[in-house]
Amino acid sequence: MSQQQPPKKKATKGNKQIVEENVATVKFYRNMSLIATAVQFLGFAVYAELSTLAVVMTVLCVVAHVASYYFMALISKPKLTEKGDIIETGTDLNIEGGITEHVKDIVILTAGTQLVSMLSEFFWLLMLLLPIRAGWLLWQTVGKQFFQGDPAEEAPVNEKKQKKLMRKMNRARQ
């Protein structure tokens, strides 16, 4: 005979753990940005061949890195009491489906693009994935609902349910 174990409750994170993970996440993505930018600047210094495209795109990548870092640092900043106890953890940066996933994707894409663009300037075209992804997300959240309407209104009603509903309405009238 095998004993069935009761389903386990999904483990929840404590406030302290969320704050520690947020600090580690911000630090990780900050380091990723700094390393990619430093390697690219080192590549510029070694090869001494700077095109206008490379300079402009590097500046845009650095702006994206700085904005992403400050955004993640701002929303994950915990509120503490005078004693140092945690009142509020800030936003959990490692939660699935949140906006921070997209911000982390921006850092990864820009850092990767900076590194591979040293091989060829055609790799800067990877940055076009940012507006494409933003457009796709906008379509998924706003555009699809606006153009297709509410799916609940279009759902066909089962005949049995329709008859049952009609009987209830008739009883209520009597």
Domain ranges of the chain: 15-128
Q: Which of 69, 4, 82 is nearest to 33 (CA)?
A: 69
Task: For residue 63, give the H/E element and its range.
Answer: helix 52-75
pLDDT of amino acid 10: 52
**Half-sphere exposure at residue 29, Cβ-oriented, CA atoms within 13 angstroms:** 29
Provide the sign of the torsion angle of the four alpha carbons 61, 66, 69, 72, taken in this order: negative
Calculate the alpha carbon distances from 147 to 110, 135, 144 in Å.
Answer: 32, 15, 5
The whole-number average pLDDT for the span 73-101 is: 84
pLDDT of amino acid 151: 54
Q: Which of 28, 59, 53 is nearest to 41 (CA)?
A: 59
Tokens 């699935």 correspond to 96
pLDDT over 70 (residue 173): yes
pLDDT over 80 (residue 19): yes
**Confidence class of residue 49 from pLDDT cuts 50, 70 and 90?**
confident
Task: For residue 88, give the H/E element and its range.
Answer: strand 86-88
Task: Please state, as a whole number, how many other Cβ atoms lie within 10 Å of the Cβ of residue 7.
Answer: 6
**Confidence class of residue 82 from pLDDT cuts 50, 70 and 90?**
confident
pLDDT of amino acid 8: 55
pLDDT over 60 (residue 7): no
CA angle 12, 18, 19 (to 5 degrees): 160
Task: For residue 79, give the H/E element and its range.
Answer: strand 79-80
pLDDT of amino acid 63: 96
pLDDT digits (tens, 9 = 90+) for 107-117: 999 999 999 99
Calpha distance 69→107 (Å, rounded):
9
pLDDT of amino acid 108: 95
pLDDT of amino acid 167: 84
The whole-number average pLDDT for the span 39-43 is: 92
pLDDT of amino acid 154: 52
The whole-number average pLDDT for the span 43-48 is: 84
pLDDT over 80 (residue 91): yes
